[in-house]
Amino acid sequence: MSSTYVVLACLISALPGPPGVRYEDAYIQLLPVDKTKCPTIDPVRDIAYHLFTRNNPLMPDVLKIGDDVALAHSHMNFSDPTVIFFHAFLESSTGTTAWTIKTAYLQRKQHNLILLNAPRLEAGPWYFTAAGNTRVVGEYTATFIDYLVSRGLQLQSLHLVGLSLGAQMAGVTGSNVRSGRIPRIT
């Protein structure tokens, strides 16, 4: 029975769906995507990193681990402070909260503002599955940060900001970064 569940969890994770609907700022889907059972991350459907700066405040650059071409053609400026925002349960990087955070940071001064987008993994009504996925998202994001550090990001200019389950993801990320210690997690 247990191995059947793992196979089904991995199969569901590989599907384009599961079917979901957005209601106001909440994302609800028919079935959970349980990455604790099948932890392989799909960088297109599971987690995306959307970079905004004052030069691209409306249309993000999408960054991926190991994609040096996308990074080179992005608006990322390693001389500017970098903030990664982790959205809450039910939310995404396109929700009101994430866009309010983005707008506030970019109005204040020039930043690299990266909005983590993982609505499939943090969808409702599957709170316990989303909570379990927090570890996988945090570990994957730590690898993303290590990649950025290898390309020029200075950890002392990095600030992780999380809301609700996003705060848990930020904490897991901070404890799994291998390239040094993140100075600020909020």
| Average pLDDT of the residues in 9-25 | 69
At 149 the three-state DSSP class reads helix
Query: Higher-confidence residue: 22 or 156?
Result: 156
Query: Cis bond leading into 119, ω under 30°?
Result: no
In this prediction, residues 118-147 reach a mean pLDDT of 94
Q: What is the DSSP letter of 87?
A: P
Q: What is the mean pLDDT of residues 132-155?
A: 97
- The SS3 of residue 70 is helix
Supply the DSSP string of 10-56, one letter for each residue: HHHHHSS---EEEETTEEEESS---TTTS----TTTT-EEEEE-TTS
The pLDDT value recorded for residue 29 is 83
| Residue 43 binned pLDDT confidence (cut-offs 50, 70, 90) | confident
Domains plus CATH for the chain?
A: 2-185 (3.40.50.1820)
